[in-house]
């Protein structure tokens, strides 16, 4: 992902100064298929951004003519010193992108289209709705897969566990037998190993699950939870999380509940807390709402108090504890994005993950702008972008699955 964004920044740096687009090294760079495809993607999204800004359809062919005149003037002076081979390489590269570069090169080169265009209403066209919802994919120990977004299930496993997703979109595991009774069921027979189920949450969705001990877990988008069908008596209640989850653990003295993540574990006997541990992020943290929890790594162990957050930097191994506003880290459970004077890049990362978007910044300064907002996760994404734009600090424009952001 970082390598892709580096290439995007490389493209944008050239689009800001169009004379750089004539550099032979950049032209040769465009001959690589992956680079050309990414360049075209940037072009299309910058074009959509321009149309939104100036409020009308752009005549691409006319703007391309203007830029091509500049290219030809440049070539007349530069080709004298080029070899025939270099000339052919350059010509092939320009022909390969000519169909999609006109508007963007004009914008990036400072050909002030704003002087020629007046604000007019755009033609309204049907668009795909990008809206949050509740949904999940369940994979049982037998390998059976259920799309809980589309399917209502009522299952009974060989161990006697009832599995139901109710009208509240909460998956529930229930057993009429005490924990550990499965061992009695297989007395005088072969020992059965614990069977694990996995629930995965796609982008743009969240979901909840109640385990057999009564513990309730809310899972955020792009998360995965692996858990036993039934907890075994005498052994810790262990689950494995990748992503983000809010836990409401049923108290059971002497029967610890452990959340395993990459680099960090959280152990409780019964309380409410949030854990965030996405594999694409360097920082993993747990935020305590009430009660107490032990958060620990291979090198440290800390007992947290309410409103405290334990943070681990997986790159350096450093840990810290800080006092936080828990609403910032648990608002998503109530269907809200809650931001308080936070960097725009951090805000947009949350929005992008939820809606499955890619973010382009036309200038690096936009990432550092601080904003505050309460946003409804289940709103259509364009409505959220309007609220962000109302801050007056940035302009965020979406085309398909890409959002382009620039400072005002």
The model's pLDDT over 253-289, given as tens digits with 9 standing for 90+, comes to 889 999 999 999 999 988 999 999 999 899 999 999 9
Helix (H) or strand (E) holding 73: helix 60-78
Domain assignments of the chain as residue spans, ordered by start? 2-115, 133-330, 335-407
Evaluate whether 358 touches 372 at the Cβ level (below 8 Å): no
126-135, pLDDT tens digit by residue?
445 566 788 8
Q: How far apart are CA 95 and CA 74, in angstroms?
A: 16
Q: pLDDT at position 171, please?
A: 92
pLDDT category of residue 160 using cuts at 50, 70 and 90: confident
Q: Which of these ranges, 80-84, 227-231, 254-258, has the smallest mean pLDDT?
A: 80-84
Beta bridge partners of 155: 163
Taking CA atoms, 117 is separated from 15, 50, 54, 58, in Å, by 21, 11, 7, 9
Q: Which of these ranges, 35-39, 44-48, 194-198, has the smallest mean pLDDT?
A: 44-48
CATH number 3.40.50.1820 given to 335-407? no
- Residue 49: burial class (beta carbons within 10 Å; 0-12, 13-18, 19+): buried
Q: pLDDT at position 111, please?
A: 35
The closest alpha carbon to 366, from 328, 337, 407, belongs to: 407
Residue 74 has pLDDT above 70, yes or no: no
Q: Which of these ranges, 113-122, 263-272, 325-334, has the smallest mean pLDDT?
A: 113-122
What does the block give as tokens for 128?
Answer: 């795909």
Average pLDDT over residues 331-353: 92
Q: pLDDT at position 260, please?
A: 97
Q: How far apart are CA 224 and CA 87, in angstroms?
A: 53
CA angle 95, 99, 104 (to 5 degrees): 110
Q: How far apart are CA 327 and CA 333, in angstroms?
A: 10
Better-predicted residue by pLDDT, 130 or 111: 130
Residues 6 or more apart whose CB falls under 8 angstroms from that of 105 comprise 15, 18, 21, 64, 67
Angle between helices 33-54 and 84-108 (to 10 degrees): 30
Q: Which of these ranges, 6-20, 35-49, 61-75, has the smallest mean pLDDT?
A: 61-75
Three-state secondary structure call for residue 313: strand
Choices 2.60.120.1440, 2.30.30.110, 3.30.390.10, 3.20.20.140: CATH for 133-330 = 2.60.120.1440
């Amino acid at each position: 992902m970082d390598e892709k964004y580096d290439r995007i920044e490389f493209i944008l740096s050239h689009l800001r100064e169009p004379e750089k687009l004539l550099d032979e090294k950049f032209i040769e760079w465009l001959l690589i298929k992956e680079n050309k495809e990414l360049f075209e993607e940037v072009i299309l999204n910058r074009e959509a951004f321009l149309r939104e800004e100036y409020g009308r359809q752009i005549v691409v062919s006319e703007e391309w003519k203007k830029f091509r005149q500049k290219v030809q003037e440049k070539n007349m002076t530069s080709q004298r010193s080029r070899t025939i081979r270099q000339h052919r390489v350059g010509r092939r590269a320009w022909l390969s992108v000519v169909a999609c570069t006109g508007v963007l090169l004009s914008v990036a080169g400072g050909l002030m289209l704003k002087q020629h265009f007046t604000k007019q209403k755009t033609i309204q066209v049907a668009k795909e709705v990008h809206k949050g919802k509740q949904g999940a994919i369940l994979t049982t120990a037998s390998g059976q897969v259920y799309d809980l977004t589309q399917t209502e299930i009522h299952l009974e496993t060989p161990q006697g566990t009832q599995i139901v997703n109710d009208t509240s979109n909460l998956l529930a595991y229930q057993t009429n037998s005490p924990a550990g009774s499965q061992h009695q069921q297989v007395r005088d027979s072969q020992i059965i190993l614990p069977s694990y189920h996995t629930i995965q949450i796609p982008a743009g969705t969240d979901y909840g699950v109640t385990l057999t001990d009564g513990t309730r877990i809310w899972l955020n988008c792009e998360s995965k939870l692996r858990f036993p069908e039934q907890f075994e008596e005498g052994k810790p209640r262990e689950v494995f999380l990748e992503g983000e989850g809010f836990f409401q653990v049923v108290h059971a003295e002497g029967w610890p509940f452990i959340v395993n993540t990459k680099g960090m574990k959280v152990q409780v006997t019964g309380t409410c807390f949030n854990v965030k541990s996405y594999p694409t992020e360097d920082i993993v943290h747990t935020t305590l709402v009430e009660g107490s929890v032990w958060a620990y790594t291979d090198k440290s162990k800390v007992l947290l108090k309410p409103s405290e957050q334990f943070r681990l930097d997986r790159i350096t191994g450093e840990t810290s504890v800080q006092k936080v506003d828990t609403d910032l880290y648990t608002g998503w459970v109530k269907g809200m994005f809650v931001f308080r004077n936070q960097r725009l890049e951090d805000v947009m990362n949350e929005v992008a993950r939820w809606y499955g978007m890619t973010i382009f910044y036309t200038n690096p300064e936009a990432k550092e702008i601080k904003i505050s907002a309460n946003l409804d996760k289940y709103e259509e994404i364009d409505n959220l972008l309007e609220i962000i734009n109302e801050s007056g600090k940035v302009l965020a424009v979406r085309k398909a699955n890409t959002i382009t952001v620039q400072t005002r």
